Chain A
């Protein structure tokens, strides 16, 4: 066994390594945050100072008004929330059918579901834009929301949890005359609450971060989401706004960072749910 001195040295070594790695990982975020908290001549000192002095909210404030970030955030919040609720509902329903019901071609249908997970958005976006167009959904919340309401991943995840609910529970309920919908909302859904929370968070993040589809279906200021709106702060024709981008980045990332800290456990569960049960 190691002596105390050796163990102490090891501990110091490990902490230094941890701190070093943490600094490296955090550096981009720190640097951008610092940049966003400076304005005017201070922002582009040469050589660039990494000390947090002369901080001001001017840049963030300017980005907020210039980029209409409040509006963009509300759009993202609204769309992500609706999609999250929708995905939970559709996933619950489909997962129930796959886990508790028997019907012809069940295996094939499930395989079809899984196969859609592999179709890259690159294949579907052009045609989907057409579909949205013919439905009159360009520049609308429907266009942003509806195509995302079904999640194969969600169906898969919830089904996994449902499969772990003892069959006897469903049988006992059916002897009592509990219908499928009632069993779903009174027994199956409450029993899968941790997974549903995780799925919700996962979906929320995914929708919040979506880039390709929103950029294709939205063409107006009214419905634009924050991810797409950020790009307008990096517009090539307007050199004067270089630093606004950093302010926009901070505003766009902040809500998610807060969510990460608050819901860390659910997030971890959501992300790992797919891994552990493969």
Chain B
């Protein structure tokens, strides 16, 4: 007991910077946002009145939130599994002792250097229907690239944003999975080989199980990114095409320039808190689903 208290002053001193910053910039705004969620405010968000906590339910049930929730879920389902599979594929491909493999590894991890802004604008330059490089090169085979443009078509806009996002995350996924692969003890492969397991069986019985911590980590990070993606939407489609709002995900519903709740801090906060709960639920599901199957090296 005494010892615990003896450590308290230094502990407080050491925690104060982080704890103070987190309190001011994360915890306080979170609480404040939860509070705003049941208020309605004027254009400057200063004079507010209470509209009741059931606002959270009505926001959740509103058409716009439901639509954007579906977009968010679709986007997550497009980016996470495909990103994972591609990342694992690249890593397995590059996990061989071949001459010059280092160059390929550098190339595969290169997109980690692109920010959301850079990656999105790269794809903007590629996909712009009249001047885009890809649009120009491939429109004979894929007319949609030109008319109305991959980012302007209700059917292809979200997959196109997802493509940009998958590409941007590929380097990250590759690096993590690659590191996971390299930490698999070689004798495991050798013993599986001796046991007569073919390369596919070695992959499913040795590689994948040993990769579970890396896969869990990547999937949590990718899911969080997918659920919180804003920059790529803002730069590529601005939530459009408007007819279907095909890329208005929850963050864009909250922050998008032409969102109907753009100037309504109360509704925005309520939607943001709901997004937070969604992220929590996803993280919990992933840890639960994966948790028991994760093999930690130590």
Contacts and interface: CB of A to CB of B under 8 A. Distances in A.
| A contacts B directly (C-beta below 8 A) | yes
A96 B4 CA distance: 15
B157 to A, nearest CB: 18
Interface string B220-237: 000010011011000100
Contact of A122 (B113, B117, B179, B275): B275
B139 to A, nearest CB: 10
A278 B98 contact: no
A53 interface: no
Contacts of A123: 29-30, 33, 269, 272-273, 275-276
Interface stretch (B7-15, B48-56, B73-81, B200-208): B7-15
Contact of B183 (A112, A147, A211, A276): A276
Interface string A78-105: 0000000000011101101100011110
A109 interface: yes
B203 to A, nearest CB: 15
Contacts of A21: 90, 93, 108
Contacts of B4: 102-104
B296 A278 contact: yes
B133 A35 contact: yes
A225 to B, nearest CB: 10
B65 interface: no
A271 B110 contact: no
Q: Summarize A's interface: helix, strand, loop or mixed.
A: helix
Interface residues of B, number: 95
B160 interface: no
Interface string A247-265: 0010011001101110010
B110 A26 contact: yes
B104 A260 contact: no
B144 interface: no
Contacts of A146: 21, 25
Question: Which of A91, A127, A246 is the most central at the interface, judged by chain B CB atoms within 10 Å of its CB?
Answer: A127
A94 B273 contact: no
Contacts of B240: none
Given A22-B104, A48-B136, A230-B118, A97 B93 contact: no
6 contacts: A46-B136, A48-B133, A101-B11, A112-B27, A155-B18, A272-B176
A166 interface: no
Interface residues of A, number: 85
A64 interface: no
B121 A260 contact: no
Contacts of A35: 125, 133
Contact of A109 (B15, B110, B255, B265): B15
B104 A109 contact: no
Nearest to A216: B255
B172 A271 contact: yes
Contacts of A268: 109, 175, 178-179
B33 to A, nearest CB: 5
A243 to B, nearest CB: 9
B92 to A, nearest CB: 11
A253 B269 contact: no
B18 A256 contact: no
A29 interface: yes
Contact of B113 (A28, A90, A260): A260
A93 B18 CA distance: 8
Contacts of B30: 119, 123-124
Given A44-B131, A231-B117, A253-B118, A118 B283 contact: yes
Interface in B166-180: 167, 170, 172, 175-176, 178-180
Nearest to B135: A48
B7 A103 contact: yes
User: Considering the complex of A and B, which 7 residue pairs feature the smallest CB-CB distances, nearest first?
Assistant: A209-B115, A127-B29, A150-B21, A275-B217, A124-B29, A94-B18, A272-B179
